[in-house]
Every structure is written in C-alpha cells, then in structure tokens.
Amino acid sequence: MKNRKTGLVILLVGLLVVGITGFSYVKAESVSSAGKIYVTRTLSVSGTGVIKAVPDMARITLGFVNEAKDAKTSQEANAKVSNEIIRVLKNMGIEDKDIQTSEFSITPLYTYEPNQNPFIRGYQTSNMLTVSVRRIGDIGQVIDTTAKAGANRFQNIVFDVENKDALKLQAIADAVKDARKKAEAGLAPEGEKVIQLISMSIDGGWVQPSPNYRNDLKEGAPSAPSIQPGELSLTITVQVSYSF
C-alpha cells in the first residue's frame, strides 16, 4: 500500500514538471522477437515560426442594389448598372479572371399592416462582384471609379500576398528549427542528444489586418479613399516529438 502511494506521488510530480516546462518525456519499453527489452525515450516540444508580410494585392466586394415595383424592371435596371461597373473595371486594366460574381439575388419586399395579410410592394435586386486588385495602390481608385459608375454597396476588403504558399513553408521551417533548438537545449544539461524525429503536427494561419478607410472629400483633395493595408501576420506552431 505504501509503495502504491509513493508511486502516485512520483507520477503527480512528473506531470507537474511537464506542465511547467512545456516539455514532456516518455520512456516506452518494447520487446523484440528475441525477447530483449528495448527502451525508446522521447521528448515532446513545441516550436513557433512567425512571418510578417506587407500585402501586395487585395480582394474587394462591391456591387449595385436597387428596388422596383416588379421583378423584371428591377433586374433590368440592375443589369444596366452592373454591366457599366464591369466595363469601367476592365478599362482600369482588371482582367476577366479577377472579376467574379459573388452574389446575385432578386428578393420580394413585403409591406406589413395591422390586421392585414402582408403584400409584396416591390422587388430588390442585388448583384455583388468580388474584384481582385493586383496593384495595392489601385484600391482607392477602384472604389471611386465604380462608385461613379453606380456601385452603391462596398462590403469588405481582404488583403493578400501573391507568394502566400512560399511564405507559409518558410514559417513551418522556422517553427521546426525552433522546436529542434528547444529540444537540444533541454537535453544538453543531461548530456543527451536528439536522435531522430518521431512525430509532428502543424497548426496556424494568416491573420488579416482590418482595413483603415479614409475618404477625403474636402475641396481640392482627391475623391478616391485612402486605404491602409497594414501588415499580414502568419504564425505556425508545431508539436514535435524526438527520440534521444
């Protein structure tokens, strides 16, 4: 009974040490076909890689929303303005592949009055486009030009970088190097060395900055809004186990 209590105390102390240091140590025994016992010792650590990048492109959702008494009139009026929006975008040098319809809807509009059944008073047509702007400095001009062409709804801007995949691979490599350094630092005082990688898990992703709008409408100032893209941040975390 005393031995059982002593073992429980040792186990709890071991778990407490793992929680404090962020390292975990496992000693596993396996038996070979010849009956010999082999001991596999593993150390688990975490590593972090952080990449920051200034956006070089953006995706903006914009379009036209209108109402009319009947669906046909609403749709036709909307199509006229939407086609004009697409035309001015192409005139700015934006290619077909970078203009995508992200939403199109025709919705009945109801009127509700006391003690009466609701009735349709008209229809609303919404046609939204997602536009990829590959020159970050053109975002303000895109907003201004499409607004003059009739766009009356601008939903959001998402900043991005062209070489996102390459940057993510670099962040993963940095996270693995960080984990390896931690493992080596933890083993060195005991005279031990990392032997090989046993397992790894990867987690993390990009953090989008919130766009900062400033629309100068003062006399003599440009009408195109100034958009501040900020900085994108990518954080990758790896959980790695090594044998030693």
Tens of pLDDT, residues 82-101: 999 999 999 999 999 999 99
Mean pLDDT of 70-91: 97
Q: Indicate the residue among 106, 129, 160 that finishes a domain.
A: 160
Rg (CA), the chain: 30
**151 in the same domain as 63:** yes
**169 in the same domain as 141:** no
Query: Has residue 11 been placed in a domain?
Result: no
**What's residue 156's pLDDT?**
85
Residues 6+ apart with CB under 8 A from 20: none
Q: Is the pLDDT of residue 9 over 90?
A: no
**87 in the same domain as 44:** no
Query: Has residue 138 been placed in a domain?
Result: yes
The pTM score is: 0.66
Mean pLDDT of 148-155: 94
Q: Any idea which residue has 């975490």 for tokens?
A: 46
**What's residue 104's pLDDT?**
96
72: domain CATH number? Answer: 3.30.70.2970
Query: Has residue 1 been placed in a domain?
Result: no
**What's residue 239's pLDDT?**
97
**92 in the same domain as 61:** yes
**221 in the same domain as 209:** yes
**What's residue 206's pLDDT?**
82
Instruction: Please tell me the total count of domains within the chain.
Output: 2
**103 in the same domain as 65:** yes
The half-sphere exposure of 138 on its side-chain side, counting CA atoms within 13 A, is 18
Six token digits for residue 26:
């496992």
Q: Is the pLDDT of residue 161 over 80?
A: yes
**236 in the same domain as 117:** no
75: Cα separation from own chain's centroid = 35
Q: Is the pLDDT of residue 6 over 80?
A: no
**140 in the same domain as 67:** yes
- Give the domain extent around 197: 23-53+164-243
Percent of the chain with pLDDT over 90: 64
27/39 Cα distance (integer angstroms): 7
Percent of the chain with pLDDT over 70: 77
**What's residue 229's pLDDT?**
79
**88 in the same domain as 46:** no
